[in-house]
Homo-oligomer: A and B are copies of this chain.
Amino acid sequence: MKLTILGCYSATPRALTNTTSQVLEINNHMFLIDCGEGTQVQLRKHKIKFNRIKHIFISHLHGDHFYGLVGLISTFRLLTREADLHIYGPKGIKEIITLQLKLADSWTNYNLYFHELTSKTSELIFEDEEVEVHTIPLDHRIYTNGYLFKEKEGNRKLDINLVEEANINVAYYRKLAQGFDVLNEDGILIKNSTVTKAGAKPKSYAFCSDTMYKVDIVPIIKNVDVLYHESTFLDKNANLATKTKHSTAKEAASIAKQANAGTLLLGHYSTRYGDLNLFKEEAEEVFDSVELSEDGKEFEF
């Protein structure tokens, strides 16, 4: 599981900082999460192949989270993309994008699917053999969802020595990986657990931005490996966090602690602060494993 931070600052793009966007690579999927203005340029800088992005998840309709979306969709068209593109986001996102494509007389030459969200409870919105994605209803000034990405239980790992000793035909290796007992060349049933081990533990990632401190999300993200939780403000500006429905670094850490997260990743910093380490220090008063997002930073989990 690899996460690339394309932008992690709040409010407006500036010469050296970008608004929210990140790419999550998980089990051969490449998910784009939020898409602030300038995201397509950030994707180019990081040499991320546009065609690998097939699913884009937008948290809410504040500009710093989606003003780059229409440009990315248009660029895909100019690059003669053929692959389907799925957009998940709040109701209204389809109207915004299609109005602009219509007035530009520039409909896409690939299939563009909108999955508009309105539910106030967590939903499963994407699922295939490897991964599932659930919404995390957040509490911000407008309708907002975080997203929980979960790998499914992976294949079992064959112990090749034991498999060969057991005289199992290669044709059955896939069945073994899927956890089935199989017949060997002598017609004897071989118990799966005697020749395989459990595969890698499935990973999970939760993206929670923008939101005020909301304990209701804890059960949804319980035991998540990595939690990205917005921390727009430091504790001294907690009053602003309340007023604007954002969180402080300490509040983000409190959610991470209650959820028993593996690692807390902070981000969506207000640009009023010079030193990001202050966010880390405040969060570490509450929770041990804290990392700072920074534009361009890559995390492998």
Taking beta carbons and an 8 Å cutoff, which residues of A are in contact with B? 11-15, 37-38, 40-41, 44-45, 61-63, 67-68, 70-71, 74-75, 78, 90, 92, 95-96, 99-100, 103-106, 141-142
Contact = CB atoms under 8 A, between A and B. Distances in A.
Nearest to A75: B12
B37 A71 contact: yes
Given A37-B37, A38-B38, A71-B37, A103 B61 contact: yes
A292 to B, nearest CB: 23
Contacts of A105: 141-142
Nearest to A65: B104
Given A100-B96, A142-B105, A41 B61 contact: no
Contact of A15 (B15, B44, B92, B100): B44
A70 B141 CA distance: 19
Nearest to A101: B63
Nearest to A69: B67
A37 B14 CA distance: 13
A61 B100 contact: yes
Contacts of A61: 100, 103-104
Contact of A142 (B15, B78, B92, B104): B104
B104 A62 contact: yes
A106 B68 CA distance: 18
Contacts of A67: 67, 70-71, 74
A68 B37 contact: yes
A45 B15 contact: yes
In the complex, the 7 A-B pairs of residues with the closest C-beta atoms, listed nearest first: A92-B103, A12-B75, A63-B74, A37-B71, A61-B103, A67-B71, A105-B142
A63 B12 contact: no
Nearest to A18: B41
